[in-house]
Amino acid sequence: FTHYKCLPHVSAFSSDYGFVSGACSPAEGLRFWEYWFDMGTDERIQNICSQKDTINKQKYINTVLSHITTPAMPMITGYLGHALHLDMLQKQFPDAIYVRLRRDPLSTAKSILEARRKSNVEEWFSVFPVECDKYLAEDIIGQVASQVFMLNRRMETDLKSSRVIDISFEDVCASPSTVVDKIINYCNNQGLNLERSAKIPDAFPVSLRSRDEDEDSFHLWRELDNLKNQYTDS
């Protein structure tokens, strides 16, 4: 019902660090993934459901999804928490196509840092991989750098599917139409039957940060580089 109710909706899209207002707005489906698959955004929080209940829920929702999706109308989802659960995701959806969206790490880190300071979030903002537990004693620069580095490292090591298309965030902003066509063509070559259904904006503003931009940027760059060297050497 919601899908057909929202078909004529014209979005005045405005994202506040991923939160978009309105019943017809894009949503990541946090509650959906938490309830049906126990895929949260914080690995410090343990599942309280029994393994049997979790398995039964997953079987049920997979059956439902198999009946309501088709090659012309697949389930499309983008959820930050998936970065923490790639092994389970690939097991539950072996035929899925993954769109790996890459963004410049320093720009990502600076965005998270600004979000934390803007909202006065002292402890954490967004996804928490368990590897960051040992960085909680660091200052905010160290915490943010570890978060960005570890999540990217997860994607590099845990995403083992052969059905992956790599997309640049900067390319999406520069030419959304070109990137959407690239995704559609890739998916159709994998057996889907997709086509455009709405007008695509010409471009989006993009902020590409430099290490010499300000003191915060330099310190973030240094921390990211230290982590890269540390884990490359190991």
The pLDDT assigned to 6 comes to 67
Residue keyed to tokens 């949503």? 27
Please state, for a pLDDT cut of 90, what percent of the chain lies above it: 70
Q: What is the pLDDT of residues 189-222, one digit of tens each?
A: 999 999 998 888 899 998 899 999 999 999 999 9
Return the sign of the alpha-carbon dihedral for residues 72, 73, 78, 82. negative
Residue keyed to tokens 């994202």? 15
The mean pLDDT value for 153-167 works out to: 95
The pLDDT assigned to 1 comes to 38
Q: Quote the pTM value.
A: 0.88
Range name among 27-36, 159-168, 184-193, 212-221 with the lowest pLDDT average: 27-36
